[in-house]
Amino acid sequence: MVWALAPRHTDCKALLVSNLAAKQAMLVGKRPYSLLSRLPSEHGFWVMLGAAQASALLRSHGALPSLFAAVLVVGAVIFAGSSSHRRIRKSSAAQLVATATLALSSVPVELAGGLSFASIAPAALARVVVFVTSALVVRAAFAGAGHAGQRWFPLLLVASVALPALSAALLFALGRTAEAGTCVIAAGVCAVFAWSRPSVKQLKPLGITLAGLALITVITLSL
């Protein structure tokens, strides 16, 4: 009788061990997903962060201190973005502040690369202008989709053109041709958007165009 029950007991023990192993595997599989799910999901975050760092590294000629600074800055920005991007998404003002912060993430890298303040400041201004105007265009597209935001729609579009145009004039007056040219390009792109009046249905081509503007900014500021 004992021998007859032994196989059943062994089978139950094996089944229990198998279930525990399966649960552990499921937990292990969920950990990377939970970590990845905390990262910012907005494409603009990654485009702007990448553009700011690439521009800074090109301007500092990839010096070792600037590379080390870029790693630290990227880690810090991703950590901050992961912990706050859901709250930022709920506020237009917070989005603009976060956008300007992404543009300014290039400053520590350029400082570590030995660039002078006279060179860093105009480039930082140009990045802030390009990134913020891009955010204004996107906000305008969302504002135009609702009745409550209709009154903000033309104001956001006008601001997206006026900001880079005025910044270009200031930078030209200071003799910063590359930075001024960058702002002129941004003003031209935003003027086209103001004329075409983008909507939320055009977010994909809008995002691709603004990503291209970020790439152009990397190139023009490195000249």
Output the DSSP codes for 91-125: -HHHHHHHHHHHHHTHHHHHHHTT--HHHHHHHHH
| Position 70 in a domain | yes
For 182, the token pair is 């960058």
According to the model, what pLDDT value does residue 70 have? 98
Q: Which portions of the chain are predicted below pLDDT 50?
A: 1-8, 15, 17, 25, 27-30
Q: What is the pLDDT of residues 71-114, one digit of tens each?
A: 999 999 999 998 887 888 888 889 999 999 999 999 999 999 99
Return the SS3 of 89: helix
57-84: b or e for each residue (b if 16 or more CB lie within 10 Å)?
Answer: bbbbeebeebeebbeebbeebbeebeee
Q: What is the pLDDT of residues 57-71, one digit of tens each?
A: 999 999 999 999 999
| Position 115 in a domain | yes
- The conformational region for residue 63 under phi > 0 = left, psi -120 to 50 = alpha, else beta, is beta
Answer for the pair 133, 186: CB distance below 8 angstroms, yes or no.
yes
For 156, the token pair is 């956001």
Return the SS3 of 175: coil
CB atoms within 10 A of CB 112: 20
| Position 4 in a domain | no
Who contacts 213 (Cβ-Cβ below 8 Å, separation ≥6)?
Answer: 130, 134, 185, 186, 189
| Position 13 in a domain | no
According to the model, what pLDDT value does residue 91 have? 86
| Position 32 in a domain | no
Q: Which domain holds residue 154?
A: 41-221
124-154: b or e for each residue (b if 16 or more CB lie within 10 Å)?
Answer: bbbbbbbbbbbbbbbbbbbbbeeeebeebbe
| Position 15 in a domain | no
| Position 30 in a domain | no
According to the model, what pLDDT value does residue 34 have? 61
Q: How many domains does the chain have?
A: 1
Residue whose pair of structure tokens reads 């958007």 in the numeric block: 193
According to the model, what pLDDT value does residue 18 have? 56
For 19, the token pair is 């279930």
According to the model, what pLDDT value does residue 41 have? 83
How far apart CA 147 and CA 125 sit, in angstroms, is: 34
Q: To the nearest whole percent, how much of the chain has pLDDT over 90?
A: 65
| Position 74 in a domain | yes
According to the model, what pLDDT value does residue 6 have? 45
